[in-house]
Amino acid sequence: MFQQVGDGRARGRTDAAGGAGDENSFLGHGLPDNIEYVGKYIVTRRFDYVKKNIVIPCARWRNLGAMRVSDLKETAAGKEKPLKYVLLAGIYNEPRSGYELTKWLQMVGQHCWSVEHSSVYPALRELEKDELIQSERLPGTRGPDRSIYSMTAAGLDKLRAWVANGSPRPAIKDEQILRVLCFDLLPRDTALQQIREVRADHQVQLEFFLARQAMLTERQLGPLLVARRGVLAEQAYIAWCDEVADMIARRPA
């Protein structure tokens, strides 16, 4: 019940602290409350090994190391990769084909989770294999037939559990901000023109989200709020572009 790590370097204790009576004690220390996924016992030697799903407060365990954090992984049960939940969310709002999900993510989902079609189709097949979604073959309005996916009861439960959880912070990769960081490397006019082009691109995005917002009512609260996020995010980006342009324009060179 207490697995020894087989790398020959383990120097810690390997005896079990187990037994029914001391389920909450480990080598004399009480287990901290904020441990979320615990199989039976925890030993780790570094605070920074332990993030996000499993939190252990500090190096109190430092010299006890024999078991690895990764041994706990299996206890974080039923965790799917994020894309699967993204697809479940898309299907929940409206039964969709793989093609439609891809388009939806690339248009509407621009600002939350954009992926290529080559990731979507395999993920859908896995979801169907796990019976979280089901498919129906329908003739295409134009073009070939497509498989329309819809939720199952199990899928709905899974999605609900995911929605109830907290999110990690948004992960953003935006090279443009870093280019602006180095704008003093460029002649003023080059910089100005670049930021104008960026602004124009976000203006197009903004208009898309505004149009989408206008199509929706409070009856479709979820999609409306997602569109609102698009509007607010693009407006903020455009406002920033304007500030950048102003500041650059006032610059001497």
Partner DNA sequence: TTCACCATGTAAGGGGTTACATGATTGC
Partner DNA sequence: GCAATCATGTAACCCCTTACATGGTGAA
* 176 SS3 class: helix
Other CB atoms within 10 A of residue 146 CB? 18
108 with 226: CB under 8 angstroms? yes
Tokens of 243: 């500030």
Among 82, 215, 243, 246, binds DNA (CB under 7 A): 82
Instruction: Report d(CA 21, CA 230) in Å as an integer.
Output: 54
- Residue placing its CB nearer to its own copies in the complex, 53 or 190: 190
Find the shortest distance in angstroms from Cβ 101 to its own copies: 12
Among 39, 100, 112, 223, binds DNA (CB under 7 A): 100
**Judging by DSSP bridges, how do beta strands 96-97 and 146-151 pair with one another?**
antiparallel
Among 17, 35, 38, 69, binds DNA (CB under 7 A): 69
Tokens of 235: 């407006």
Binding status of residue 221 toward its own copies by CB under 8 A: yes
Instruction: Report d(CA 186, CA 102) in Å as an integer.
Output: 38
Which residues make beta-bridge pairs with 149? 96, 135
Binding status of residue 253 toward its own copies by CB under 8 A: no
Among 16, 75, 222, 249, binds its own copies (CB under 8 A): 222
Which helix H or strand E contains 235, and what residues bound it?
helix 221-250
Binding status of residue 186 toward its own copies by CB under 8 A: yes
Find the shortest distance in angstroms from Cβ 3 to DNA: 11
* Interface ranges with its own copies (CB under 8 A): 82, 85-86, 89, 92-93, 109-114, 156, 159-160, 162-186, 190, 194, 197-198, 201, 218, 221-226, 228-229, 232-233, 235-237, 239-240, 243-244, 247-248, 251
